Amino acid sequence: MNFEDNIQEIKDIYTKWLKTYLLNNDEEEALISVYNDLFIKNHFIIDDIMDIFDIHILALKQILKINNDNDKIDWIYIKRANEFFAQFLTLFENYRQVLREQVEIDPLTRAYNRLSLDNVGEKVFNYSLKNKSSLLCVMLDLDNFKHINDAYGHDIGDQVLINVSKILKKNIKQKDFLYRYGGEEFLILLRDINYDEAFPFLTKLKDNLKKIKIKSLDKKITASFGATSLLEDNPISLYEMIKYADTAMYKAKKTSKDKVVFFRDLK
């Protein structure tokens, strides 16, 4: 086997390994499809990987010009392969974080998105259900948001969403999860908290939204909150829990807005 054949063999091994790593990685199918889409169709990862690869190939060529010791050449191949993999894994992990963010993070508000809710939210629900631990699902919808968009423009509307997300993230704990559920809707999963503890917390959260100041906007930001408890309302799935919270939120919206409604009070 000549040098060019060896190079092609190495390329084939790396390519096969990469594909196997991607397809067998413990990720949801949607995330893998994004990997494949960006990796195969756009090639933005391939170019960087080949830059690293070419550096190693150039070094091998220089060594082969001055050294015909096959044992030493084999050792150099192994050493170079290990160095390549080390550099490649660093590169891949960096891209992995970028790709995960592209898939799971809402680009405007920096909250988690619906895909992340399907993945992580489901795991949080199942864990809480299995361990009989408290979990509160909160749905909130910004009041009169369409009017803000229509009267002040979408740029102001975007600023409202960004600032609301910042307030929500600032007030929840690290173990809690914030999602942008839809246009002006946010969903929060609060762990280890019950109804009695939740009311003062959500009331404070609601009032904090009114403190948001945005240039050119002379209206207070308010939201209608609906919440449901895993242990007290006994939903059988995350999506039933979301439905309960959504029902409570619409009750708040239909009455006076800018209020907190619990699903238990609708029974």
Residues annotated as part of the active site: 184
* CA–CA distance, 197 with 193 (Å, rounded to integer): 6
* CA–CA distance, 256 with 144 (Å, rounded to integer): 12
What is the phi/psi pair of residue 137, to 5°? Answer: -105, 125
User: Do the beta carbons of residue 112 and residue 179 sit within 8 Å?
Assistant: yes
* CA–CA distance, 224 with 260 (Å, rounded to integer): 6
249: tokens are 């939120």
What is the phi/psi pair of residue 153, to 5°? Answer: 100, 160
User: Do the beta carbons of residue 207 and residue 260 sit within 8 Å?
Assistant: no
* CA–CA distance, 146 with 57 (Å, rounded to integer): 59
52: tokens are 């690293």
